[in-house]
Amino acid sequence: MNIWEKMLNVDRRWIFLGIGIVAIVPFFINFGMPIKTSIEVEGIFDYVDELDSDNAIFISFDFAPGTQAENMPMAVAVMRHAFHNDIPVFMTANYPLHHGMMLAAMAYVFNPTTEGFYHEVPFEDWSQFRNAGITDKDELVVAWENDGNVLPDGAMGWVFEGRDYAALGYAPVFNLVILGMTISIETQYPRDAHGNATGEMPILQEHKNLRDVDLALSCSGSAACVWWVTYAREKIGLPIAFGVTAVMATDYYPYLQAGQVIGQMGGLRGAAEYEVLLTENGITPSTDKAFTGMDVQSAAHILIILLIIMGNIAFFAGGFHKKTALKGRG
């Protein structure tokens, strides 16, 4: 057996091993392959970056664990952007399983082991300041720190539940929930995911319905993202953005072209682009999981391409194409 035959008959287990190695190495060695941002992702970033504490956004967790690798980094990136700019954030979920994805995102962003984390202050913990009428974010931070609270090392800032975010979570028949929120958010969510009365939250007192909200981002692994266009954008003109899986991305370009959505993150690449924009603008200290995932994906693709090239070289250099042609004639 010559070298060309050996190349064509390599044990597939070596190929699996090679893919496994190149998939693991980027988690320990940051290749930092360059990622050029797209107009679709820049549209979302620029829009969010112009908002401030007088505005508010929705992040809808419309995905299950099956697409978590693509959709979760999108939601996390926009959460961090909003918290950095002191933009109040409402978080919802269109199915019970997706409710868990919302909680997982919060746990990650508020986890002290996460680089560039935010320190959460639960709703009840700052009730005395709320009762004293201190709800403005800047005044609240001053009062909170004067009370002896110190921001942990490595934290990017304070996040007060009920002031900076409301984890509304899942409510049944979600398309009708969106429709109902165009009139009142509180009627659809009397209590949040942690059992707090939403009517007592400053975030809902200032943003009573979707007409008082400036953007809804649907991070979706299904067609549920279209519900936001149908029941919010077309009804009250609420700006919408999509964060969808790579296989879904092309299906939603007509919404971009029609101007029905302001931007779209498509797959892991879209999430990585947003992470790059956050880092370039000093909003996060470094890129996150999506950027690392792109290194993994790129390394695996490069190996596969090399294997295809080597296989073709062996096929033609070894004369196997001639033998195949002769068999075909026979």
How confident is the model at residue 326, as a pLDDT?
Answer: 47
Please check whether residue 119 is in contact with residue 195, taking contact to mean a CB–CB distance below 8 angstroms: no
Query: Are the beta carbons of 84 and 283 closer than 8 angstroms?
Result: yes
| Residue-level pLDDT at 238 | 97
Is residue 43 within 8 A of residue 316, CB to CB? The reply is no
Taking the C-alpha atoms of residue 239 and residue 119, their distance in angstroms, rounded to an integer, is 29
Distance CA 219, CA 102 (A): 11
Note the pLDDT of residue 77. Answer: 97
CA distances from 76 to 206, 210, 304 (A): 24, 22, 31
pLDDT value at position 21? Answer: 86
Cβ atoms < 10 Å from Cβ of 328: 7
pLDDT by 10s per residue, the chain, length 330: 678 777 778 888 888 888 888 878 877 777 767 889 999 999 999 999 999 999 999 999 999 999 999 999 999 999 999 999 999 999 999 999 999 999 999 999 999 999 999 999 999 999 999 999 999 999 999 999 999 999 999 999 999 999 999 999 999 999 999 999 999 999 999 999 999 999 999 999 999 999 999 999 999 988 889 999 999 999 999 999 999 999 999 999 999 999 999 999 999 999 999 999 999 999 999 999 898 888 777 788 788 888 888 888 887 877 665 665 545 555
* Cβ contact 180:109 at 8 Å: no
What is the spatial distance between Cα 191 and Cα 160, in angstroms, rounded to a whole number? Answer: 17
Topology (CATH level 3) of domain 31-287: Rossmann fold (3.40.50)
What does the block give as tokens for 184?
């009142």
In the block, residue with structure tokens 């009062």: 143
